[in-house]
Structure 1
Amino acid sequence: MNPGNAHAERRVRLAAAMADEGIDILVVAGNPWRSDYLRFAADITPVEGDAFAFIDRDGPTRVIVEHPAEAARLRLEQEELDVRWSLSAIEETETAIRELGKRRIALAPRAAVPYRLAREPLLASIAPATALLDRLMLRKSPSEIAALRRAAVLADEGYAVFLKAARVGRPEYALVADVEAYFRSRGCPENFQILGSGGREVRGMHPPTERRLAPGDLVTTELTPC
């Protein structure tokens, strides 16, 4: 195993934890607003709709998403994934869980699991696994620690790019575009960013708008390369 491959390290740790708990299949749910567990378990980040990863302890990972564009993107990012899409992804996931028969199944995270999958009688046959993933995610591997350090360096560089981009007359979205372009040039495809600009009335940050920076503006941002 490549010591720099955080995903490979996670897969080994996850398989060992599943074996300890007697779990055959771990179903991980996520969406654009709650993708941290999916990213850890399957290295995928949904952009549209719900996504469900079936992590087989001893086999390949299957993924069900809601949009064909999502399926195409994930196949390009990870050719080994078995990716399917369905306009009824939640129903499709429920059917797939039932078809697993007597294999021991676990589901996580509780906060992202749709109600249809979190109710009886289906829930009675599924073990909770949020705590299991939480324990794994809290204890960082050497590759994950190295990735965190790289992200911190990128964030510092990104703030420097933002500082240069914040010039009078430029729209807010152009500032974010400059930062995004820089991060992508450094091999970082993901960055959650919000910003705020204006006078004393500015009390928070928001997604970028067409508002143009004016003399005397206070301009601030939050960026999170990963």
Structure 2
Amino acid sequence: MTTVSDAANIAPSPGAKSSRSPAGPSEKDTAELTLRHAKVRAAMAEDGLDALVAYGPGWRRENVRYFADVRIAGSSSFVVFPASGEVGAFSTRRGDLPDLVRRGWVDDAAVLDVWDPAPLTGRLRELRPRRLGVAHLELLPLVLAEALRKALPGTEIVSATSLMDRVRMVKSEWELARMRRSATVCAAGWEAFVDVLEPGLPEYRIVAEVEARIKQLGAEDNFMLIASGKDEVRGMTAPTPRVLEAGDMVRTELTPQMDGYWLQICRSAVVGTPSDGQRESFELFNEAVEAGMAAVRPGVTAHDVAKAQNDVFRGRGFGEYCTSQYTRVRGHGHGLHLDETPIIEGNETVLPENAVFIIHPNTFTPLAGYHVLGDPVRVTADGCEVLISTERKLFHSDRGTKGAAA
């Protein structure tokens, strides 16, 4: 294995970047790392785990990043976190190792071949865990699952996915500072979105302008859905070649990632002058967002927040559009994954202080078709803090008056 002290001897892969020096974490970073270890070990003790493995397939790396604070590019990665002792990281990509050791959040790192996972299984055999938790065990390839069982015949192997979801749900001040950086990028991305709207523009050009703006500001990634049209629109997709027309409402979920943390803004804008139906739709959705925010405080459930939003639709005679036929959820958590716990619909997850999630009653109604509106919030001691500065209004774009409020 490669240790932190070996960092100077590792040649970075071409183009690899590290935001930290070989000196390791700063004082604030060390405090954050200590806090994370304490939180995870307390949860492990509660669940009776002797060791935990965070598995990170290419599309779900949030738990590995929680332990390592490094952007991993390997198709598979792991962190071995014992109840006591050193923390080890593994990646299928050798180029990930320099950043892992320079960052200093793990004690050592090694390359792993998923077809020959001896370094990983050997590390676990040394720990001799009676009960091992694997975060994202449900996604672990069969070849690796079988290798774990063969290497640890006397060990009970259980899922630790929900454990890590619980741990990550409450954000530290260190994490919130990173998420507030994401909030400024959300605002800039939406500004770029509205700035380019005009008849004749294809959807993919809008997304290209947004991507250019947020990448200039340091966004690592961006999850973005879009839809344009009138009251026939039932949902959003990736951008298409569809060309904007006067009177279209253009909807988006714009979700940049900064320093590992995702944050989302949901807005809709009209190309030209909004219709009466589009104005009425905005008022309905804005009232629902505000009702959801008013319901937020520590101790309420995700269901309570969803119900507050849905009650607005029911009170206006649009209750049927709160069903799964027209919508999926009324919001979801944010953090190292873009769509994480809590899910704001149909579950009784209790909201703790400093949980972060977006409230978005996005759905179809006959007023103006699918409407998108929502803000990310932090649960405070007595309510919630809205994390983005972009005004909630029905934006519209006319030649010479782009971005004016309706």
**TM-score category by the smaller chain?**
0.7 to 0.9
Which has the larger displacement, 194-203 or 116-125? 116-125
Q: Deviations over 1:80-121 (max 9, x none)?
A: 3735364xx3x344x333212141353113443334445655
- Larger-Rg structure: 2
Summarize the alignment of residues 11-160 of structure 1 with structure 2, pairs less than 5 Å apart: 11-17=33-39, 19-20=41-42, 21=44, 26-44=52-70, 49-55=75-81, 58-59=85-86, 61-65=88-92, 71-72=94-95, 74-75=96-97, 78=100, 80=102, 82=109, 84=111, 86=113, 89=114, 91-93=115-117, 95-100=118-123, 101-103=125-127, 104=129, 105-118=132-145, 120=149, 125=155, 126=157, 128-160=159-191
Which has the larger displacement, 103-112 or 216-225? 103-112
Corresponding residue to 1:198 among 229, 251, 254: 229
How far does residue 218 in structure 1 lie from its aligned partner after superposition? Answer: 2.2
Could you tell me how far apart the structure 2 residues matched to 1:77 and 1:210 are?
39
Percent identical residues: 29
How far does residue 182 in structure 1 lie from its aligned partner after superposition? Answer: 1.5
Is this contact kept in 1: 2:90–2:120, CA < 8 A?
no
Is this contact kept in 2: 1:31–1:47, CA < 8 A?
no
How far does residue 143 in structure 1 lie from its aligned partner after superposition? Answer: 1.0
How far does residue 19 in structure 1 lie from its aligned partner after superposition? Answer: 4.8
In proportion to residue count, which structure has more helix? 1
Q: How many equivalent residue pairs?
A: 214
Corresponding residue to 1:174 among 187, 205, 218: 205
How far does residue 223 in structure 1 lie from its aligned partner after superposition? Answer: 1.0
Q: Deviations over 1:140-190 (max 9, x none)?
A: 111112222332232122211111123333332222222122222222222
The alpha-carbon distance between structure 1 residues 84 and 97, as it changes in their structure 2 partners (threshold 3 A), is closer
Amino acid at match of 2:247: G
Is this contact kept in 2: 1:38–1:45, CA < 8 A?
no
Could you tell me how far apart the structure 2 residues matched to 1:177 and 1:9 are?
39
Corresponding residue to 2:251 among 215, 220, 223: 220
Amino acid at match of 2:65: R
SS in 2 for 1:158: helix
The alpha-carbon distance between structure 1 residues 10 and 210, as it changes in their structure 2 partners (threshold 3 A), is farther
Amino acid at match of 1:15: H
> TM-score scaled by structure 2?
0.45
Could you tell me how far apart the structure 2 residues matched to 1:48 and 1:98 are?
19
The alpha-carbon distance between structure 1 residues 76 and 177, as it changes in their structure 2 partners (threshold 3 A), is farther
SS in 2 for 1:99: helix
Could you tell me how far apart the structure 2 residues matched to 1:38 and 1:225 are?
19
The alpha-carbon distance between structure 1 residues 135 and 164, as it changes in their structure 2 partners (threshold 3 A), is same
Which has the larger displacement, 101-110 or 13-22? 13-22
> TM-score scaled by structure 1?
0.73
Cα RMSD (Å) of the superposition? 3.3
Could you tell me how far apart the structure 1 residues matched to 2:244 and 2:40 are?
52
The alpha-carbon distance between structure 1 residues 111 and 172, as it changes in their structure 2 partners (threshold 3 A), is farther
SS in 1 for 2:183: helix
How far does residue 221 in structure 1 lie from its aligned partner after superposition? Answer: 0.9
Could you tell me how far apart the structure 2 residues matched to 1:84 and 1:40 are?
19
Tell me, which stretches of 5 or more residues in structure 1 are unaligned? Answer: none
Amino acid at match of 2:109: D
Could you tell me how far apart the structure 1 residues matched to 2:180 and 2:238 are?
26
How far does residue 195 in structure 1 lie from its aligned partner after superposition? Answer: 0.9
How far does residue 139 in structure 1 lie from its aligned partner after superposition? Answer: 1.8
Is this contact kept in 1: 2:55–2:77, CA < 8 A?
yes
Corresponding residue to 2:196 among 165, 187, 198: 165
